[in-house]
Chain A
Amino acid sequence: MGAYSKLFVLSALLLLLLPVPILLVNASGEDVASLALTEAEETLASTHEAVLEAEQAGANVSGLLDKLNLGAEYLAEAYVWYRLGVSENASRFAGLCYEVVGGVSSEAVELRDEAKRLGDADFVVNMIGSVVGVIVVLVFCSVAWLVFRRRYRRRVLGLRSEVVSGES
């Protein structure tokens, strides 16, 4: 085999092998983007659930919703890029979403716990206040009734005695 023939065979082999790494790189780029999207999506969803818990506990979550909205904006953009086949941008935006939303869950848990503590304190204050209030009302009304009844009887009896003395 001459030098040119060897070169030709080698070139042909190289040309055959060339698409393989390109395909692998493309596949791995897509896989990375897909994984990043899944992670960002799951993080956003679980953070939303933590925020919902905080909200249900009575916490003010408007600040957390702002952060979630920023994350959601990034994630939407990531999905759009992914559908367009631009894996690099998809991964980048999914990463931004993950970064923005990353710490929100712990903030939500703190807010939820704080709201629960305040809620428990409110519960105790409301219960004690109500019990004391009812007792005060009952005592006050009982005393008022006793005073009223005594005055009423005195007045009615007094009127009767005057009438009796007038008749005799």
Chain B
Amino acid sequence: MNLDEYRTLFLVVTLGLALVAAYPALAIVVPFTDDSEEFSEVWLLGPGHTAEDYPVNVSDGEMHNIFVCLGNHMGSSEYYMVYVKFGNITQLFLDSSKPSSLPPLYEFRVFVADEAFSESPVTFGFQNVYIEDNVLIVDNVTMNVPIEDAVLSVDDVIINGMVFPVDASTSWDSKKSGFYFRLSFELWRYDTMLKSFRFHDRVVGLQLNMTGS
């Protein structure tokens, strides 16, 4: 190497060291863009804190435990609300593009720090589950309505010890052989610009095969 090449090498090394020394100031002055995606998560866990053993077959008076979990990846702490809704399959479809028009029964409100998770226990059950008009009178003869034509109604939903009167009924689902309802959990997020909650495009739920008492 000749002297000019050594000079170039010295300049490069000097520039590199100067950049390292200037990094603390550069980090403040130069805005480094954060390209990480901002999103929130909502999911359900079964009674054992795992993604299994979710309640499916439920009957009048039984209580079931699940957990509603939230994850915040929005870049700052967030104020979330989860609406719990109950209805039959036509009333409640798990569409994450819009919230269900059914009124909420129960709600959770929680603040979650950035990159943190939150977990809320939910104990739920149903009361006054019955088959409507299960007898027919034809030509003065009383006969039971076939299960395929029967309608199952639920009058009360119990969530975390509170009883909520509901008006939900469903007919027999011959494909899945059961009376199916849904318990859904809608995620809403507080919008600091609008100063109100907005649906956050996340819905999870349980499909429940109900049995009367």
Residues of A within 8 A of B (CB): 44-45, 48-49, 51-52, 55-56, 61-62, 65, 68-69, 72-73, 75-76, 79-80, 83-84, 123, 126-127, 129-131, 133-134, 136-138, 141-142, 144-145, 148-149, 152-153
Contact = CB atoms under 8 A, between A and B. Distances in A.
A65 to B, nearest CB: 5
Nearest to B81: A76
A141 to B, nearest CB: 4
A116 to B, nearest CB: 14
A141 B17 contact: yes
B164 A84 contact: yes
A137 B14 contact: yes
Contact of A76 (B14, B17, B24, B108): B108
A127 B25 contact: yes
Contacts of A136: 21
Find the residue from B26, B111, B164 having the highest chain A CB count within 10 A.
B111
16 contacts: A48-B77, A55-B76, A61-B113, A62-B113, A65-B111, A69-B111, A73-B110, A127-B25, A130-B24, A133-B20, A134-B21, A137-B14, A137-B17, A137-B21, A141-B10, A145-B10
Interface of B: 3, 6-7, 10, 13-14, 17-18, 20-28, 76-77, 79, 81, 103-111, 113, 162, 164, 190, 192, 195
Find the residue from B13, B17, B23, B81 having the highest chain A CB count within 10 A.
B17
A68 B113 CA distance: 11
A141 B24 CA distance: 20
B18 A73 contact: no
A8 B105 CA distance: 46
Nearest to B120: A73
Find the residue from B6, B22, B103, B106 having the highest chain A CB count within 10 A.
B22
Contacts of A48: 77, 79, 111, 190, 192
The 5 closest A-B pairs by CB, nearest first: A133-B21, A130-B25, A72-B109, A126-B24, A141-B14
A136 B171 CA distance: 82
B162 A84 contact: yes
Contacts of A131: 25
A144 B10 contact: yes
A52 B109 contact: no
B7 A145 contact: yes
Given A52-B192, A76-B81, A148-B6, A83 B103 contact: yes
A49 B26 CA distance: 29
Given A80-B162, A136-B21, A152-B6, A65 B28 contact: no
A61 B162 CA distance: 33
B198 to A, nearest CB: 13
Contact of B106 (A49, A80, A152): A80
Find the residue from B7, B25, B105 having the highest chain A CB count within 10 A.
B25
Contact of B26 (A123, A130, A149): A130
Contacts of A84: 162, 164
Contacts of A144: 10
B18 A138 contact: yes
Nearest to B84: A80
Nearest to A70: B111
A83 B153 CA distance: 22
Contacts of B21: 130, 133-134, 136-137
